[in-house]
Amino acid sequence: MVVHNTRLMRRLTSVSVFAAAIAVVSLLSSAGCRRRPDTTPEDNGAPGAGAGGAAAPATIEPPGGGLTGMTKPVMSLLADERAARPGGTPTAEAVFEAMKKAGVPTSGETQVLGKTLGAAFCENARTAQGTVLSVCEFKDAATLAKGMEYSTKTFAKALPNRRLFANRSTLLTVNPSENSDSAHAELKTIEGAFGRL
Burial of 19 (0-12, 13-18, 19+ CB in 10 A): exposed
Secondary structure class of 38 (helix, strand, coil): coil
What is the distance of C-alpha 172 from the center of its chain? 9
123: in domain: yes
Residue 119 — φ and ψ, nearest 5°?
Answer: -85, 155
Same domain, 136 and 93: yes
Q: For the whole model, what pTM was predicted?
A: 0.69
Confidence tier at 196 by pLDDT (50, 70, 90): very high
59: in domain: no
Per the prediction, the chain carries an average pLDDT of: 79
Does residue 33 carry a pLDDT above 60?
no
Same domain, 84 and 163: yes
pLDDT in tens, 108-125: 999 999 999 999 999 999
The CATH number assigned to the domain holding 187 equals 3.40.1000
Give the residue, 40 or 97, on which the prediction is more confident. 97
Mean pLDDT over 66-93 rounds to 90
Q: For the chain, how many structural domains are there in total?
A: 2
